[in-house]
Structure 1
Amino acid sequence: MIIRYLKQEEKIESKALWGKVFDEDSQSFMDYYYSDRVRRNKILTAWDGERLAAMLHRNPYDVVIRDRLWKTDYIAGVATDPEYRHQGYMRRLLLRCFSDMYAERMGFSFLVPADPAIYRPFDYTYICDLPSQELNEKGLSQLSRRALVEQSAESREAARFAGRLLEQSYEVYALRDEGYYRDLCREVRSDKGDLILLYTRDEKEELAGIWAYYGEMAENKRELICLPDYVKETGPKKPAVMGRIIHLEQFVSVICLKEDCPVDEMELLLEVKDGFIPQNAGIYRWKLDRKGSVLARVSADAGLKPHLSMGIGELTSWLFGYGEPPVPEESMALAERIRLLNGVFFDEIT
Structure 2
Amino acid sequence: MNIRYAKPIDKDQVVSVWNYCFEDGEDFVKYYFENVYDENNTIIIEENDEVLSALQLNKYTIDLRDNKYDVSYVVGVSSKPEVRGLGYMKHLMTYTLEELYKNGEIVSLLMAIDYRLYKRYGFDHCYDQIQYNLRTDELLGFRLSSKLRKATFEDAETLSRIYTKAMESLNGYAVRDEAYFNRFIKEVSSESGYIYIDEENNSYIAYYIQGDTFFVRELIYNNISSLKSMLGYIYNHNTQCKKTVINAPVDDKIKLIIANLKTCEIKLIPFMAGRVINFEKYIESLNSCNIDTQKINNESIKIKVIDKYINQNNSVFKISVCDNKIKIQRVEEDCDIELDINSITQLAFSYLNTDEIFMLNEIDESSLINTQKELLNALFEKRINYIDELV
* TM-score, structure 1 normalization: 0.87
Aligned to 1:222: 217
1:282-301: CA deviations, max 9, x gaps? 101112469763321112xx
Matched, 1:232 2:254: yes
Say if 1:42 and 1:58, in contact at 8 Å, map to a contact too: yes
Indicate the SS of the match to 1:317.
Answer: helix
Say if 1:54 and 1:80, in contact at 8 Å, map to a contact too: yes
Deviation at 1:99, TM superposition (A): 0.6
Following superposition of structure 1 onto structure 2, how do residues 261-340 of structure 1 map, counting pairs within 5 Å?
Answer: 262-288=295-321, 293-299=326-332, 304-323=333-352, 324-326=356-358, 327-329=363-365, 330-331=367-368, 333=370, 334-337=372-375, 338-339=377-378, 340=380
Say if 1:308 and 1:328, in contact at 8 Å, map to a contact too: no
Aligned to 1:244: 275
Instruction: Using the aligned pairs only, state the percent identity.
Output: 23
Higher helix share: 2
Counterpart amino acid of 2:11?
K
- Which has the larger displacement, 64-73 or 96-105? 64-73
1:112-170: CA deviations, max 9, x gaps? 111111111112111111233589667663353221111x1x21111111111101x22
Matched, 1:160 2:161: yes
Structure 1: distance between partners of 2:171 and 2:294: 20
Aligned to 2:239: none
Aligned to 2:148: 145
Indicate the SS of the match to 1:71.
Answer: strand
Indicate the SS of the match to 1:130.
Answer: strand
Structure 1: distance between partners of 2:387 and 2:39: 19
Aligned to 1:38: 37
Structure 2: distance between partners of 1:89 and 1:274: 20
Aligned to 1:212: 206
Structure 2: distance between partners of 1:14 and 1:292: 46
The answer for unaligned runs of 5 or more in structure 2 is 228-252, 256-264
Indicate the SS of the match to 2:10.
Answer: helix
Structure 1: distance between partners of 2:323 and 2:351: 21
* TM-score, structure 2 normalization: 0.79
Structure 2: distance between partners of 1:290 and 1:232: 45
Indicate the SS of the match to 1:181.
Answer: helix
Aligned to 1:202: none
After superposition, the Cα gap between the structure-2 partners of 1:288 and 1:219, relative to the gap in structure 1 and judged at 3 Å, is farther
Q: CA RMSD in A?
A: 2.5
After superposition, the Cα gap between the structure-2 partners of 1:10 and 1:313, relative to the gap in structure 1 and judged at 3 Å, is same
Aligned to 1:17: 17
Structure 1: distance between partners of 2:140 and 2:324: 44
Indicate the SS of the match to 1:294.
Answer: strand
The answer for unaligned runs of 5 or more in structure 1 is 200-204
Indicate the SS of the match to 1:141.
Answer: coil
Structure 1: distance between partners of 2:59 and 2:46: 24
Higher strand share: 1
Structure 2: distance between partners of 1:129 and 1:290: 37
